């Protein structure tokens, strides 16, 4: 249980639907109207500063951490410079759409249609992307569910971790301005390289001024409210907020409260600058620890620190990532993917867990917010106390924390080219991407539907659901004379999908460089400041290639296994009959479907099918990693979750494994729902076979455990041992849902009573009742392991 004020805020968070504010978009647009002709980075910096100067300031009831993205407490903003057309198309249905609805009034709609969108016509990132994407790729990659990268052209990139350790807490934005000015003195405007740098430094001076001014306006507001505040205790708090906002974020923080307010101002700046996905907090228990120790020595009680942490959790959950219905299908649950990573090792390789690590786990238990995305790093000699706190939070059924192998994360970063100390200092990006803060990367660049490649290979290149040619296969399925021929055809389609994904990504990357430089977030990066280069131009210390996310590994492997066994080994059926059965969505072929369902399935530690999955994953890495992005960095592969296995399933007809048309695919390296019938240990063994450390973009395994397994301390100790065993096999991530099917069904029937029920979606947790019915059903369909 949190404090009274946090409980009130928490209730508001779970009870209210988010509202859209157009204020940021209005100011941004008006600013752009005034800066026509100036350079893009400067225009964006000025738009940011104008927003900081003009956006109304709101201090909500009882808040200890202040700063609002708009006039509503639960609020999403618009970023028409990225895309306005989807908003225009979809906003009339915002409040009624199935996944992630928003509130928006008719007056608001009228205003944005009249005053905001007309300016952006022809100027948005989306329009440019669609104009430049080659037709052949567009056919497969625009709103198809086959290749999907719309979060990279309808949205900003995000996917970054501000550097509190070496930049923000050391220098403050005041220090950043000073440093930029010093740099400017040494540059020569008659040199074209310097010219770009000059522009960059000017842009970050402007954004830094903006965020400092915004904080100043909060100080003014706090002081104003304090004057009329009747409650003496609250008045003192407001005066303290005023004091803090006069110092922060201009100067380095000196207290825990100052530091945590700094964290939120940085988030706020990031949000206002681009409405980002995965603007991560990073290793909070590390960079906040000195302030904790110092405040404690001055007598501050743990309860005060705990309250501040919980207040941040609520703040992180109140703003909403405004996204299209299509994107919401892939990233369901109002998720902003602000990842916060606890535990693991220090840069020197020592145990990094501390009191704050435990307090953060406790905070998620007491406020039950879906943000931050709480992740833990578990090393082999992880202290018992930390492991116990982790498994205890698992037993609460929130799906948190995401549990990661410290060593696998380290290996993944080493493989990606990081120096060992930096690799050891990793945090998560978004859901399950191991990442280091001095990095510019696209950690969720494209979603690739593996099963589509199989469908095209088995259906003469034609998508069953879209009804048009999207693949390259010409021959009919009955022409395949051996299993090898089927597999070869599959891999040809598969490679083609990767090629399209790369093309779509390169097109988007080039446009980002041209159109949407990121001065505010670049100013949070040490090497951008040092070298005078924006993030979009590769200014970070590390620039890691974009991550291709594979979806449907289990379904595709199961389907190939079914063809291999039923057609070519047991000769139970022919390619012709199987094709007819699939085209008929198995109707009239129930017996054949039974046979298909009984072919070994991935996730049960059965070599017959696991071997197919392992080869597919290795092939995926080899081909994907062979491409280079616009900075010359190799693409990376991942098997992450998000909620992408739903929309990608909708566009795939029946599959040879026995799955019916439109049903979800499989997530990450998880088994297909309901087919891991052995034990979670078998599912773990299957998943661990996949050479996870080469997939630097992250891997994800979701398991459902029966609640009774973790009811007792002893049960939780065994769970801890199970996790360590899994990691010792080389695996990277596992996360558990422990809510019983019964409770989930009751929550479907009476959503009002279960508003704060958090469940694991895939790589992240969110409120169950905020998911569409089909998403809820998909979660229930996961096999609950009764074992133990």
Taking the complex as a whole, the smallest distance from the CB of residue 382 to another protein amounts, in Å, to 11
CA 165, CA 788: separation in Å to the nearest integer? 43
Closer to another protein by CB, 255 or 604: give it: 604
CB distance 311 to 65 below 8 Å: yes
Alpha carbon 262 to chain centroid, angstroms: 22
Closer to another protein by CB, 188 or 712: give it: 712
Closer to another protein by CB, 257 or 685: give it: 685
Taking the complex as a whole, the smallest distance from the CB of residue 725 to another protein amounts, in Å, to 5
Taking the complex as a whole, the smallest distance from the CB of residue 627 to another protein amounts, in Å, to 35
Taking the complex as a whole, the smallest distance from the CB of residue 668 to another protein amounts, in Å, to 21
Closer to another protein by CB, 459 or 678: give it: 678
Q: Is the dihedral of CA 164, 151, 342, 433 positive or negative?
A: negative
Task: Provide the 3-class DSSP secondary structure of residue 343.
Answer: strand
CA 147, CA 501: separation in Å to the nearest integer? 6
DSSP state of 426: -
Measured distance between the N- and C-terminal CA atoms of the chain, rounded to whole angstroms: 31
CA 352, CA 386: separation in Å to the nearest integer? 11
Task: Provide the binding-site residues for another protein, judged by CB under 8 A.
Answer: 605, 678-682, 685, 709, 714-715, 717-718, 721-722, 724-725, 728-729, 785, 787-788
Q: Hey, which bits of 110-242 come out as E strands? A: 147-148
Taking the complex as a whole, the smallest distance from the CB of residue 679 to another protein amounts, in Å, to 4
Taking the complex as a whole, the smallest distance from the CB of residue 787 to another protein amounts, in Å, to 4
CB distance 67 to 264 below 8 Å: yes
Angle between helices 741-749 and 773-781 (to 10 degrees): 170
Closer to another protein by CB, 20 or 682: give it: 682
| Beta partners for residue 543, in sequence order | 440
Taking the complex as a whole, the smallest distance from the CB of residue 607 to another protein amounts, in Å, to 11
Taking the complex as a whole, the smallest distance from the CB of residue 720 to another protein amounts, in Å, to 8
Angle at 299 (CA atoms; ends 298, 301), nearest 5 degrees = 135
DSSP assignment of 192-210:
HHHHHHHHHHHHHHHHHHH
Closer to another protein by CB, 188 or 728: give it: 728
CA 651, CA 623: separation in Å to the nearest integer? 24
CA 278, CA 161: separation in Å to the nearest integer? 8
Taking the complex as a whole, the smallest distance from the CB of residue 380 to another protein amounts, in Å, to 9
Taking the complex as a whole, the smallest distance from the CB of residue 776 to another protein amounts, in Å, to 28
Closer to another protein by CB, 85 or 718: give it: 718
Closer to another protein by CB, 605 or 629: give it: 605
Burial 472-482 (b: 16+ CB within 10 A, else e): ebeeebeebee
Alpha carbon 107 to chain centroid, angstroms: 32
CA 514, CA 500: separation in Å to the nearest integer? 22
CB distance 345 to 379 below 8 Å: yes
Taking the complex as a whole, the smallest distance from the CB of residue 295 to another protein amounts, in Å, to 37
CB distance 552 to 644 below 8 Å: no
Closer to another protein by CB, 486 or 710: give it: 710
Closer to another protein by CB, 378 or 402: give it: 378
Closer to another protein by CB, 476 or 708: give it: 708
Q: What would you report as the CA-atom Rg of the chain, rounded to the nearest whole angstrom?
A: 26
């Amino acid at each position: 249980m949190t404090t009274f004020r946090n409980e009130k805020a928490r209730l508001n968070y779970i009870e209210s639907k988010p509202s859209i504010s157009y204020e940021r978009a209005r100011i941004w647009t008006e600013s752009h109207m005034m800066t026509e002709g100036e350079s893009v980075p400067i225009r964006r910096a000025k738009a940011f500063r104008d927003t900081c100067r003009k956006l109304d300031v709101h201090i909500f009831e009882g808040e200890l951490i202040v700063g609002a993205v708009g006039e509503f407490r639960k609020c999403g903003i618009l970023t028409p410079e990225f895309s306005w057309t989807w908003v225009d198309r979809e906003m009339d249905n915002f409040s009624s759409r199935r996944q992630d609805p928003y509130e928006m009034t008719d007056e608001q709609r009228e205003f944005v249609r009249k005053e905001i969108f007309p300016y952006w016509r022809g100027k948005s990132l989306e329009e440019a992307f669609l104009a430049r994407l080659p037709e052949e790729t567009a056919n497969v990659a625009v709103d198809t569910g086959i290749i999907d990268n719309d979060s990279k052209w309808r949205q900003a990139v995000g996917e970054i971790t501000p550097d509190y350790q070496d930049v923000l807490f050391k220098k403050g934005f005041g220090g950043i301005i000073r440093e930029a000015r010093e740099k400017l003195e040494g540059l020569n405007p008659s040199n074209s390289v310097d010219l770009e740098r000059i522009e960059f430094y000017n842009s970050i001076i402007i954004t830094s001024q903006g965020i400092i001014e915004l904080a100043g306006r909060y100080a003014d507001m706090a002081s104003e409210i304090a004057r009329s505040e009747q409650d003496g205790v609250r008045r003192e708090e407001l005066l303290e907020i005023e004091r803090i906002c006069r110092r922060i974020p201009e100067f380095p923080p000196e207290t825990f409260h100052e530091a945590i307010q700094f964290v939120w101002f940085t988030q706020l700046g990031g949000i206002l600058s681009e409405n980002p996905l995965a603007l991560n907090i990073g290793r909070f228990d590390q960079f906040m620890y000195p302030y904790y120790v110092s405040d404690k020595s001055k007598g501050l009680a743990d309860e005060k620190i705990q309250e501040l942490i919980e207040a941040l959790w609520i703040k992180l959950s109140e703003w909403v990532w405004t996204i299209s219905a299509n994107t919401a299908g892939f990233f369901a649950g109002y998720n902003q993917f602000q990842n916060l990573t606890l535990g693991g090792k220090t840069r020197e390789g020592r145990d990094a867990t501390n009191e704050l690590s435990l307090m953060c786990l406790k905070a998620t238990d007491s406020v039950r917010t879906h943000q931050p995305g709480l992740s833990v790093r578990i090393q082999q000699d992880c202290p018992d106390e930390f492991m116990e706190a982790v498994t205890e939070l698992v037993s609460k059924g929130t799906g948190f924390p995401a549990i990661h192998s410290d060593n696998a994360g380290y290996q993944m970063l080493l493989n990606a080219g990081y120096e060992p100390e930096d690799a050891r200092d990793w945090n998560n990006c978004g859901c399950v991407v191991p990442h280091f803060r001095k990095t510019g990367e696209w950690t969720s660049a494209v979603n690739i539907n593996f099963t589509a490649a199989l469908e095209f290979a088995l259906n003469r290149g034609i998508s069953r659901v879209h009804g048009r040619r999207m693949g390259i296969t010409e021959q009919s399925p009955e022409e395949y004379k051996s299993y090898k021929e089927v597999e070869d055809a599959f891999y040809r389609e598969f490679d083609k999908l990767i090629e399209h994904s790369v093309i779509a990504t390169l097109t988007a990357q080039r446009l980002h460089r041209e159109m949407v430089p990121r001065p505010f977030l670049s100013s949070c990066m040490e090497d951008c400041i040092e070298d005078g280069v924006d993030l979009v131009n590769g200014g970070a210390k590390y620039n890691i290639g974009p991550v291709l996310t594979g979806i449907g590994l289990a379904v595709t492997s199961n389907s190939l296994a079914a063809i291999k066994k039923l057609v070519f080994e047991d000769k139970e059926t022919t390619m012709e009959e199987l094709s007819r059965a699939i085209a008929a969505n198995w109707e009239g072929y129930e017996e054949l479907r039974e046979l298909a369902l009984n072919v070994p399935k991935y996730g049960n530690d059965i070599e017959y099918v696991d071997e197919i999955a392992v080869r597919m994953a290795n092939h995926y890495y080899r081909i994907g990693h062979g491409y280079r992005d616009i900075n010359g960095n190799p693409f990376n592969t991942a098997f992450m979750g998000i909620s992408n296995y739903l929309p990608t399933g909708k566009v795939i007809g029946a599959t040879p494994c026995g799955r019916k048309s439109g049903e979800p695919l499989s997530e990450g390296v998880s088994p297909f729902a309901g087919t891991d019938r052995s034990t979670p240990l078998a599912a773990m063994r299957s998943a661990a076979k996949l050479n996870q450390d080469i997939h630097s973009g992250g891997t994800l395994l979701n398991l459902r455990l029966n609640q009774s397994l973790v009811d007792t301390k002893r049960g939780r100790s065994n769970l801890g041992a199970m996790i360590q065993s899994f990691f010792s096999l080389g695996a990277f991530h596992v996360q558990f849902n422990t809510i019983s099917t019964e409770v989930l069904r009751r929550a479907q029937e009476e959503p009002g009573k279960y508003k704060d029920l958090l469940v694991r979606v895939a790589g992240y947790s969110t409120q169950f009742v905020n998911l569409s019915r089909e998403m809820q059903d998909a979660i229930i369909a996961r096999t609950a392991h009764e074992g133990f």
